[in-house]
Structure 1
């Protein structure tokens, strides 16, 4: 016996597809929003680690030759030239990591010592206190005013259509550490 579909049954066949389309739009938007929020938290927290790592490296490495290498390593980048990006974060690069060498009053040193040995000499000379590096500050800044970098959502086109403004600044997360050797190597 062959059953024929009634007009009511034929109309019901497309309802499931329409319901799935309506529910999946909401569900996928929710899932992508959760992913984007997780990435925002990742970038926010990793910037703090980047500044801590940069400051730690800067207090023990030569401030006259190693600054580019320090900033590249801080964003977990390899190589010696070009732009190094923090993994999973196109907004944080080695060029957004700023190192500032500070005197005893935490003002930028002026004039800067010529090398690590000259820094030790300046720290021992009462007339050169503004040239003695006592602290190092590391922060992640944009290139204009050091106000922190703007978060760039990966699925921003989708969120932009919904009217959400993602102009979120990642904090500069400054870290200040007392200077150690600054790359000084005693000659034998």
Structure 2
């Protein structure tokens, strides 16, 4: 009887390594997906903070007390874009050289109001792991998608 039990244990000897070999790629893929999700949330948080800083900057400078309304000059818009991307305004006169290609910033006066400004920052997120998923039939699926942060503030 002991001999029969020993024979059954020998048949099960390599099963654990086979199961590990089959499960390892799925575990690694899950780990990388969670890492990319964390990176995407970090970039969105940075984008949102840049949008808030830029809206605060333009809201403090866009109010024209003589006219009694918001007035966004091209130079103020350019400096606001620098605040949204780099965290600090450029010195006037402003030029948009050196801005990242995958980031766009829009500074507008909110329609229907005289005292609100809106800053919208959009960024195209692309994962580090792969640029797309291959498709067996048809076109491949791109993994790039836009992250958009919008902030509205009242001009002071």
- Structure 2 gaps, min length 5: 1-12, 63-71, 91-96
1:137 paired residue number: 118
Give the match's secondary structure for 1:60: helix
Relative to structure 1, the CA distance from residue 77 to residue 179 in structure 2 (aligned partners, 3 Å threshold; closer, same or farther) is closer
- Checking the alignment, whether the CA contact within 8 Å between 2:51 and 2:84 is kept in structure 1 is yes
Paired residues for 1:100-111 under 5 Å: 100-102=108-110, 105-106=112-113
TM-score (norm 2): 0.59
Rate the CA distance shift 1:46–1:79 in 2: closer, same or farther, 3 A. closer
Q: Provide the aligned length of Structure 1 versus Structure 2.
A: 124
Structure whose residues are more often strand by fraction: 2
Change (3 A) 1:177 1:41: same
What are the ranges of 5 or more consecutive residues in structure 1 without an aligned counterpart?
1-11, 85-89, 107-132, 142-148, 181-188
Shift in CA distance, 161/32, structure 1 to aligned 2, threshold 3 Å: farther
Task: Return closer, same or farther for 1:77/1:40 CA change in 2, 3 Å cut-off.
Answer: same
RMSD (CA atoms):
3.5
Separation in 2, partners of 1:168, 1:61: 33
1:71-106: per-residue Cα shift (whole Å, max 9, x none)?
12222356853114xxxxx84x3xx11100246x23
